[in-house]
Each structure stands twice: as C-alpha cells, then as structure tokens.
Amino acid sequence: MARKAARHPVPARRADAERNIVAILEAGTRLLSCDPGAGVADIAKAAGVGRVTLYAHFPSREELVDAVLNHAVGMADAVLEDESIDTAPAPEAMTGLLRTSWEVLDRHRRLFLAADQVLPTERIREHHRRPLRRVERLIARGQRDGDFRTDLPLAWLVTAFFAIVHSAAQEREAGRLEPEEVERVLVTTMLSLLSPPA
Amino acid sequence: MARKAARHPVPARRADAERNIVAILEAGTRLLSCDPGAGVADIAKAAGVGRVTLYAHFPSREELVDAVLNHAVGMADAVLEDESIDTAPAPEAMTGLLRTSWEVLDRHRRLFLAADQVLPTERIREHHRRPLRRVERLIARGQRDGDFRTDLPLAWLVTAFFAIVHSAAQEREAGRLEPEEVERVLVTTMLSLLSPPA
C-alpha cells in the first residue's frame, strides 16, 4: 500500500524532473560547446523547459556549468575506454590516449573555456578525476616497464599531462596553435616529458 | 590662472585617491597572499580606507583581485630583472629564472589561487605578459644557440613554462608536492621539455 501510494504522484514528478535535468545537461553541453558565453535562458529554451524549472535544478550559472562539465567529462571518459591503454607499449598507448583525449577535448573545447571562466582550476581538475586515473595507470605502467622516467613523482607527471592538454586547448582556441599542429605538439611535448633522462 | 584654479582642489583629491589606491593594492596583496578568501571589508580596513572608498575604485571583488594581481606581478617582474638571463648559457639561465620565479610565486601563491577563483586563465596569463616576455627571450636565445629544441613552436614552449609553473604552485598549495621538492621538479621538468630531442 505504502509502496503503491508512493508511486503516485511523486515518482511521476521525479521522472519528469530527471527527464528535465537530462534535457538541460544535454542542451547545456551542446550550446556551451559552441559558445562559452551561452546564457541560461538559451539553454532552458533549447532543453524545452522554463527558466523557473532550470533555476529550480541549477540555482546559478556556475552550478549549471559545473553540472554540464560533469556530464560532458562522463561521456568523454566512456570514449577513452579502450583496452589498448593497458596492453600496448606505454609510449604507444600514451600517443593513442593523447589523440583520443584531444579529439574529445576539441569537441568540447569551448565548454572548458566556459568552465574556466566560472570554476577554479582545482574544481575542473576534480571533474577529471576519472579520466586522469586512466592517465595515472598508464604512466605508472610505463614507469614499471622502464619506458617512462621515475625521477619525477607519478602524481606530478599526471598533473603535467592535465596542464599540457588544457593549455593546448586554450592555445588552439586563442588561435596561437594551428588545429593541424596540436596533435604533434601534444605528443612530442608529453613524450619528451615522460622519457627517462638520457 | 586656469592652471592655478585647476590645482585646487582637484589635484589634492586626486593625490588622495592615488594614495588610497596604492594602500588598497598593497593591503590586498598582503591579505590575499595569506588567505585567498580574504574579504573586501578586511582589505579596506587593512588599507585604512572605508568600504565606500574601496568600492568607488573597485566596484567588485573581481576587479579588486584583478588589480591586486596586476600590482603583484609588476613587483615580481622587477625582481626577475637580472642581466644573467641574457648572458649565462640558456639552460643555466633557465634554472636561475625558475628558482627566482618560484620564490616570487611561492610568496604570492595564495593570491594566484584567489585570482584563479575569479578570473579566467586567459586573463591571468595576460597579467603575466611582461614576465613571460623574459621567458620568451631566453627560450628564443636557447633555440638560436642550439641549447633548446626547435621542433616545437617558441610560443608553445612559453605556454608550457607558464602552465608548468602555475601547476607546481597549485600542487604545492594542495599539499601534493613537498615544498623542498618543488624546485628540483620544476627545473627537471622544464629542462626535459626544452632539451633538443636525442
């Protein structure tokens, strides 16, 4: 009885709320990836919900951008799922990971700029914890196999990876790095940084 | 006559305003370097001015932090003034520059965190244009002398320098990098990144 009573109308409202949230996050990802300055009203419109509904779920632009970033990184992380990261020689796997990360990041580049404008770098880094764990696992394997240097701490090498990829996205957006140059620059930079000292 | 009339009382007021601005920027640098969350009211108090006066010059916390960062980077840039940057062999000059930059940055580390919370990375980078020009000059000289790599664009190497030093400051603040480790990690990372490929 209690169970049945609980199914109406709360679950229906909850299902509506979930549908609205998903629609808002998808619209937010789409719009902010085109224009980092996209407004909350435009995102509500594209999601097919009212501004009041949007604000009920995300009381500030900052909270909305934070949630959209989380959504986008979650999708991106799924794309990075590739078993060769654990099987190919570490330098080769790193090259592959950089290419894939870059493609995903390039698609959402403007969203990261939007995030960078309202969220501290530390918070943006937290959102990347899952994909960064893949990077960490790969660098640790390269260190064990003797392919990557061990004279610098693992955590620092992961941080450098994040900083370098993040900078490349900003340089590309600012027009200081040619789109066709980015992949080579990223791979060359990271492999120089990871190689054992001569 | 006009000249004499113009001297009173406007210049007196202007001199007052300039004194207040300098007091606010100095207090802001001091307080935000201790606590990135320092409030506008505390900064006004430490500067010996009223909140209304502070808001008249800096209408928002963001504008205040922006001006404080500009002030701090200007002072830091003066510290970096050292002719050995143009005379010592480039790798040695880079090591010296990293040590000095790091000392200055470490002193103002929390101020950069405050800035990172309210300003986009692009804006923070703009404030560093002057010190980054020193870095650029040094890397360019190293490239000409054959000490530094030429297979990556100069502008990208300067960006990587900024990203790496910035990341080290954040890692240090987050307790992920030991204070006594930072200098070695920075120098090792940058020289690996700048060395010509084997």
Domain positions in chain B: 1-59, 61-198
| Chain A CB within 8 Å of residue B179 CB | no
Give me the percent of chain A exceeding a pLDDT of 70: 94
A156 vs A16 pLDDT, higher one: A156
Q: Which of residues 59-98 of B touch A (CB under 8 A)?
A: none
> Across the interface, do B160 and A122 touch by the CB < 8 Å criterion?
no
The answer to whether residues A93 and A85 touch, using CB atoms and an 8 Å cutoff, is: yes
Amino acid in the structure at residue B48 = G
**One CATH from 3.30.420.10, 1.10.150.120, 1.10.357.10, 1.10.1740.10 for B61-198:** 1.10.357.10
The answer to whether residues A108 and A53 touch, using CB atoms and an 8 Å cutoff, is: no
Q: Which chain A residues contact residue B160 at CB under 8 A?
A: 164, 167, 189
B13 vs A143 pLDDT, higher one: A143
Q: Which residue of B has its CA nearest to A120?
A: B117
User: Considering only CA atoms, which of A66, A121, A67 is closest in space to residue B114?
Assistant: A121
| Chain B CB within 8 Å of residue A176 CB | yes
Q: Which of B156, B163, B189 sits opposite A185 (nearest CB)?
A: B156
Give me the percent of chain A exceeding a pLDDT of 90: 53
Q: Which chain B residues contact residue A152 at CB under 8 A?
A: 185, 188-189
**One CATH from 3.40.630, 2.30.30, 1.10.10, 1.20.1250 for A1-59:** 1.10.10
Asked whether the bond before A197 is cis by omega within 30 degrees of 0, the reply is: no
Q: Which of residues 96-125 of A touch B (CB under 8 A)?
A: 113, 116-117, 120-122
* 3-state secondary structure (DSSP) of residue B9: coil
| Chain B CB within 8 Å of residue A177 CB | yes
* pLDDT tens, position by position, B165-185: 989 988 888 888 988 899 999
> Across the interface, do A170 and B195 touch by the CB < 8 Å criterion?
no
How many angstroms separate the CA atoms of B52 and B100, rounded?
Answer: 38
> Across the interface, do B193 and A188 touch by the CB < 8 Å criterion?
no
Which residues are CB-neighbours of B178 under 8 A, at least 6 positions away? none
pLDDT over 60 (residue B6): no
Per-residue confidence (pLDDT) for residue A182, from 0 to 100: 93
Mean pLDDT of A126-136: 88
Query: Per mean pLDDT, which range of A5-19, A96-110, A114-128, B95-109 is the poorest?
Result: A5-19
How many angstroms separate the CA atoms of A115 and A113, rounded?
Answer: 5
Choosing among A128, A154, A156, A191, which should be mutated to test the B contact, i.e. which has the most B CBs within 10 A?
Answer: A156
Q: Which of A117, A156, A192 sits opposite B185 (nearest CB)?
A: A156
Amino acid in the structure at residue B167 = S
Distances (CA, A) of A100 to A85, A169, B26: 11, 14, 46
Give me the percent of chain B exceeding a pLDDT of 90: 53
> Across the interface, do B197 and A198 touch by the CB < 8 Å criterion?
no
Find which of A92-106, B32-46, B105-119, B143-157 is predicted with most confidence, using mean pLDDT.
B143-157
Please return the burial class of A30, using the count of CB atoms within 10 Å of its CB with bins 0-12, 13-18 and 19+: middle
Distances (CA, A) of B136 to A39, A88, B157: 37, 37, 8
Q: Which of B120, B156, B171 sits opposite A156 (nearest CB)?
A: B171
Neighbours of B82 (CB within 10 A): 14
A77 vs A83 pLDDT, higher one: A77
